[in-house]
Structure 1
Amino acid sequence: FRADTDDELAVASNIGGRSTYRNIGRTRRQGVELQYRQPLAEQLELQLAWTWLQAQARSPYLTSNTLVAAGSRLPGVPRQQAFARLQWSPGQWQWALEASASSDTVVNDVATERAPGFALLHLEAGRRWALPGGELRAFARMENVLDHAYIGSVIVNDGNG
């Protein structure tokens, strides 16, 4: 996939919870997404997904004190993400183990700081009920079951240190 943008709106600064924005010219996001689904047994299925994304400025732009070169990586966008799910579905029940991962993320325009990548494990249990004209599904999830500390989102160009 590829998406080109002109006059993209981007974060200029974040200070004390207040954000300002500016146009940074031309940008491009291009990448590849792959997905694989494989039944392993009658009630067991494996799902895999991976995304590689190159998000970059296509024209130079000026921050408050620095010129950001064309080709620079856009902040707040991880380069790679991956997902795996092993699901067991006996009858009306579903049980799943999931893993999700993200690569590091640039957190400022000049790419001098990064939030580290991470990998997490999740559990899910659910049940389905057949209804006239449809289906009802209830489920419960436990996200990050190993209680791994990670940075799930960033405040681009944060001036609070």
Structure 2
Amino acid sequence: MMVEEKWVDHTLESSSILVHPNEIPSFAEAIFLKDPIYYDVEAAKAHGYSHIPLPATMPVTFWKKFDIPWLDGLGGVIHAKQSFEYKTTLVADREYQATLSLDKVETKESSLVMMEFLHHTLSIYHLNVLQCKVYTTLIVKGGESP
């Protein structure tokens, strides 16, 4: 196993996250979102939001708030899949807390190489109420198969 067993079922400390409204337009532009709600607070409010909403995939950027010890020293990591489960839309200028868990590690072996599939859950809260969960699977390439 490339990732140490001690990290499986481990949850990292909560991290406080505040997304500034000026961070959202560049992310929205990078993923080709044109809707004015991502660029203008008045447009967002006209659509019923309290502030500029975060694009649905923006919580992936919350990973940078964590020091992830089980990824230290690993070679190439491939982002395999991701899904989002929202209770409510996340918005700018609201303080969130997040936890990141390594839920499971699966080892798969082909005739050429061994790989580990790391299954994670990023849980996002506001005032201790769950707002969103992001499920992410990363693939780590190991050594050659025997």
**Normalising to structure 2: TM-score of the pair?**
0.30
Structure with greater strand share of residues: 1
Structure in which a larger fraction of residues adopt helix: 2
Q: Which TM-score applies when normalising by structure 1?
A: 0.28
Larger radius of gyration: 1
